[in-house]
Amino acid sequence: MKKVININFQGRVIPIEESAYEMLKVYTDSLRRCFANEEGRDEIINDIESRIAELFGEALKKGSVCITDSQVNTIIDNMGRPEELNQDEPGMNAGAASQNQSATSGTAQTLPPLRDKIFRDNNDKILGGVCGGLAHYLKVDPAIIRVAFALATIGWGTGVVLYILLWVILPSRSLTGVSSSKRLYRNPDEKVIAGVASGIASYFDIAVWVPRLIFALPLVTGILSSFFNHYFHWLHNNESFSRIVFSSFGGTLLVIYAVLWAIIPEAKTATEKLEMRGEKVDLNSIKNTIQEDLQGFKARAEKWGKDVSEKAQQMGEEVSQLGEEVSQSVKDTTTSVVNEARPMAQSGISRLANAIGILFKAFFMFIGGVISLALLAALVAILFAGASVFPLKDFVLDSAPQQVLAWLFLLLFFGIPIIAFITAFVRRLMGVKSGNNYLGYTFAGLWVIGLVSGVFLLAGFSKHFEVKAREKQEYVIAQPTSGKLLVTVADSEISTTTISSGIKVSGLLRIDGDSLQLSNISVHVEKSSDSLFHVTGTRLSNGKDGEEARKNLVNIQYGFTQQDSVLKLNRGIHLPPNAKFRNQQLVLTIQVPVGKKIQIDRSVRNRFFFINIAENEDGDDWSDFDSKNNWRTGVEYEMTQEGLKRTGNTDNPKSWDTDNDEENSPMQDSRKSRRQLEKELEKKNQELDEIKKELEKPAEPKKVALHTVPSDKRGFFYWLQSANSNSAVIREDKVAAAAYIFYHKLI
């Protein structure tokens, strides 16, 4: 059902559908513009309108109730569309030009050929219309010219100079658009970030995801390559090379994307969309495009399930845009089509700012994308790490419910975010919009379940650590003949880091086939109560209750070998194959008699990792074991009445002995002799003085006195005098003087 209005057309009253009337009006307006330069334009238009009125009359006579859209369309077709009329004229002019002067004097009024001179295009400009004018002259898509300029600018900076030059030189005109060719636009309907990829796809008639993948490819390969680098190390030699290649490639591509985003105009009006696809631009196809857009838009709105008011609002906008576009399109096909999307009043500077703003937007989106991708990478890395720790599962967990909980925890807590990321990423890539929020809720719910199971797991797990048991045992050692004991860790058991023979988990734990080795060992040095060296080992273990703790403890096996004065400790405590991790520890206490020396080798620090998970409630001799060790590796100590004292024979020369001393517990501090402290203080002061001297010394000879001596001839001479060398150098001008100073680093 359409609205019908009555119009007074050429002196007759004609009933006509409103939409048909709009079409007619647009047509006559376009004709008016079309013949703007013609002499007798009004007469021509009048003629045409009369003819149309005649045709209307015939139609009505034949029995139509009113003039319809289709009738108007047919009439316009027969009359001829604006662009067809325009193109015909030059052709006819060419034929008649050589014939008759009087005839051609009339025809010379038609559109002058604009293609043999370069102008700046007033209608198709982003900054100053230089590219648009060039494109018009060369009859290519302006976007290509712009890209060339952008490349020139990035590459050598000459593009900017050239652009400004052309801007100044070329006069500006309102040029007719090169509307018949296919133009490169950004497609706003199918955009993931800015529609660059889909615009390119339309231009080249390829599937949308292809250019998108091309843009995303370097990022993806970058991530993959960084994974490989990390886990397989085979790229170690070429690491920097491959990184440079990938990261620079990815970076370049993103810069290209941003540049294209700024350059390529967005196909907002229906005309532009048609041009983007390369279809013929006329009223019919414009109408079809708009209808397609409307339909597509409707479908999308339904799919998203947005609320009704929004839908109605948007549709209202589309409808008003339809009317706008129809009128605009006819106007635009003869002048320039592109620029209707941009307000004409924009000055060049604001356009530049616009372009820069777009570049910034692209940059920030890029950063955001990188961050999210980094998160994704982290999650995946955790998953990989988890996979490598997998064999520990049996060691740590024990009962069936625990295992289930553990699985749930791992999979859900870590797996869900990964899956969500991948889904979102793929979705964006394919341009598919998610239909519902249920997926998000489902993901969130599963993740919460994972979290809860993790909590339960932790609770269940910690139950096994409630009680701690310990047991002391003395080892038999031979007294070192030299009076000094060297403590090292045997390294014969350490295999190279190959994954095939057993799995090594960075030091603390080793699973070798079916035996477990835990390096949870701590070495303490004490004063011996007699004149002999003693080594005692204290085994500790946790358990659910006292009985289990003791059971776990008994299973700890440890030993060491001795070669005269070298104590070779085993790398870790051995546990039976099916033992569970219950914070089994071993504390080796070495008692050194007064007057004897001891040195702990660096291998001890490297290979023992003492961790203490659970609190212990027993008495106060524990505080010994809890405090940090009172020795440093590689340093020889002598046991005195007051405690360990450094003898000064060290492996690693260092002037300060800070860390262990400061970390001592209060008890240990009180043991330290005051003399020792004083000595250290003195040493510190000495060093300080030394450093001060160092700083001060070089300063002196660098002093320079700068005198100016007036010369009778010209200017001043600069008389540079060095403080310690007493030599004077004369330089004639300031610049040379400054250069001299710089050169000799005098100031």
Partner 1 sequence: MEFCILSIIRQGEVYPSDLVEKMKSANLHILEGTLYPLLTRLKNAGVLTYRWVESNSGPPRKYFVMTDQGLQFYHELELTWNELAAAVSSLTQPLTSTNNS
Nearer to partner 1 by Cβ, of 31 and 487: the residue is 31
Q: 């009087």: which residue's tokens?
A: 102
Neighbouring residues of 153: CB distance < 8 A, sequence distance ≥ 6: 159, 160, 163
Neighbouring residues of 716: CB distance < 8 A, sequence distance ≥ 6: 708, 709, 710
Nearer to partner 1 by Cβ, of 9 and 203: the residue is 9
Q: Which residue in the set 4, 7, 48, 508 belongs to the binding site for partner 1 (CB under 8 A)?
A: 48
What are the Cα distances from residue 220, in Å, to 246, 415, 441? 10, 20, 28
Nearer to partner 1 by Cβ, of 41 and 342: the residue is 41
Q: Which residue in the set 5, 92, 375, 378 belongs to the binding site for partner 1 (CB under 8 A)?
A: 92
Backbone angles phi, psi at 565, to 5 degrees: -100, 10
44 is a site residue for partner 1 (CB under 8 A): yes
Min. distance of Cβ 47 from partner 1 in angstroms? 5
492 is a site residue for partner 1 (CB under 8 A): no
Residue 692, CA atoms < 13 Å, CB-side half-sphere: 6
Q: Rounded CA gap, 94 and 104, in Å? A: 9
Min. distance of Cβ 13 from partner 1 in angstroms? 12
H/E segment holding residue 567:
strand 566-569
Task: Report the candidate in 266, 275, 288 with the shortest Cα–Cα distance to residue 179.
Answer: 275
* Binding flags for partner 1, 51-80, as an x/- string (CB under 8 A): x-xx--xx--x----------------xxx
Q: Which residue in the set 2, 12, 463, 702 belongs to the binding site for partner 1 (CB under 8 A)?
A: 12
Task: Report the candidate in 579, 590, 529 with the shortest Cα–Cα distance to residue 552.
Answer: 579
Nearer to partner 1 by Cβ, of 105 and 495: the residue is 105
Min. distance of Cβ 145 from partner 1 in angstroms? 33
Q: Which residue in the set 5, 6, 25, 103 belongs to the binding site for partner 1 (CB under 8 A)?
A: 103
Structure-block tokens of residue 415: 């797996």
651 is a site residue for partner 1 (CB under 8 A): no
What are the Cα distances from residue 564, in Å, to 559, 561, 596, 605, 631? 16, 10, 15, 22, 22
356 is a site residue for partner 1 (CB under 8 A): no
Structure-block tokens of residue 110: 């038609």
Min. distance of Cβ 280 from partner 1 in angstroms? 16
Nearer to partner 1 by Cβ, of 39 and 682: the residue is 39
Distance separating the N- and C-terminal Cα atoms of the chain:
93
Q: Which residue in the set 7, 19, 29, 38 belongs to the binding site for partner 1 (CB under 8 A)?
A: 38
11 is a site residue for partner 1 (CB under 8 A): yes
For 713-747, the DSSP string reads SSSEEEEEEETTT--EEEESSHHHHHHHHHHHT--
Nearer to partner 1 by Cβ, of 85 and 704: the residue is 85
Q: For the chain, give the longest Cα–Cα distance.
A: 135
102 is a site residue for partner 1 (CB under 8 A): yes
Residue 605, CA atoms < 13 Å, CB-side half-sphere: 13
Q: Where are the alpha helices (DSSP H) in 233-307?
A: 239-263, 270-277, 283-304
Q: Which residue in the set 4, 10, 162, 494 belongs to the binding site for partner 1 (CB under 8 A)?
A: 10
Is 31 within 8 Å of 23 (Cβ atoms)? Answer: no
Nearer to partner 1 by Cβ, of 12 and 684: the residue is 12
Q: Which residue in the set 89, 189, 279, 661 belongs to the binding site for partner 1 (CB under 8 A)?
A: 89
95 is a site residue for partner 1 (CB under 8 A): yes
Query: Count H helices, E strands: the chain?
Result: 26, 21
Nearer to partner 1 by Cβ, of 107 and 225: the residue is 107
Q: Which residue in the set 2, 5, 47, 564 belongs to the binding site for partner 1 (CB under 8 A)?
A: 47
Min. distance of Cβ 295 from partner 1 in angstroms? 32
Min. distance of Cβ 330 from partner 1 in angstroms? 13
Total site size for partner 1, rule CB under 8 A: 37
- Going by their DSSP bridges, the two strands 635-640 and 560-563 should be labelled as unpaired
The window from 47-55, 211-219, 227-235, 688-696 that contacts partner 1 (CB under 8 A) reads 47-55
Q: Rounded CA gap, 132 and 49, in Å? A: 36
Q: If you ran DSSP here, which 8-state letter would residue 478 be given?
A: P
Backbone angles phi, psi at 459, to 5 degrees: -60, -50
Nearer to partner 1 by Cβ, of 43 and 687: the residue is 43
100 is a site residue for partner 1 (CB under 8 A): yes
The window from 101-109, 202-210, 241-249, 312-320 that contacts partner 1 (CB under 8 A) reads 101-109
Backbone angles phi, psi at 265, to 5 degrees: -75, 155
In one-letter notation, the amino acid at residue 55 is L
Q: Which residue in the set 40, 296, 576, 577 belongs to the binding site for partner 1 (CB under 8 A)?
A: 40
7 is a site residue for partner 1 (CB under 8 A): no
The window from 99-107, 258-266, 451-459, 720-728 that contacts partner 1 (CB under 8 A) reads 99-107
Q: 């809860």: which residue's tokens?
A: 452
The window from 6-14, 194-202, 426-434, 514-522 that contacts partner 1 (CB under 8 A) reads 6-14
112 is a site residue for partner 1 (CB under 8 A): no
Q: Which residue in the set 31, 175, 322, 410 belongs to the binding site for partner 1 (CB under 8 A)?
A: 31
Q: Which residue in the set 1, 63, 65, 99 belongs to the binding site for partner 1 (CB under 8 A)?
A: 99
Min. distance of Cβ 181 from partner 1 in angstroms? 23
Is 704 within 8 Å of 720 (Cβ atoms)? Answer: yes
Nearer to partner 1 by Cβ, of 99 and 498: the residue is 99
Q: Which residue in the set 17, 81, 457, 541 belongs to the binding site for partner 1 (CB under 8 A)?
A: 81
Min. distance of Cβ 96 from partner 1 in angstroms? 6
Is 431 within 8 Å of 198 (Cβ atoms)? Answer: yes
Nearer to partner 1 by Cβ, of 80 and 386: the residue is 80
Task: Report the candidate in 9, 11, 24 with the shortest Cα–Cα distance to residue 70.
Answer: 24
SS3 of the chain: helix, strand, coil, percent, to 5: 55, 15, 30
Q: 């289930």: which residue's tokens?
A: 404
Structure-block tokens of residue 108: 């010379």
The window from 8-16, 207-215, 644-652, 708-716 that contacts partner 1 (CB under 8 A) reads 8-16
Per-position b or e across 622-654, b if 16+ CB within 10 A of its CB: beebeeebbbbbbbbbbbeeebbbeeeeeeeee
292 is a site residue for partner 1 (CB under 8 A): no
Q: If you ran DSSP here, which 8-state letter would residue 476 be given?
A: P
Q: Which residue in the set 25, 64, 70, 84 belongs to the binding site for partner 1 (CB under 8 A)?
A: 84
669 is a site residue for partner 1 (CB under 8 A): no
Binding residues for partner 1, per CB under 8 A?
A: 10-12, 31, 35, 38-40, 43-44, 47-48, 50-51, 53-54, 57-58, 61, 78-81, 84-85, 88-89, 92, 95-96, 99-100, 102-103, 105-107
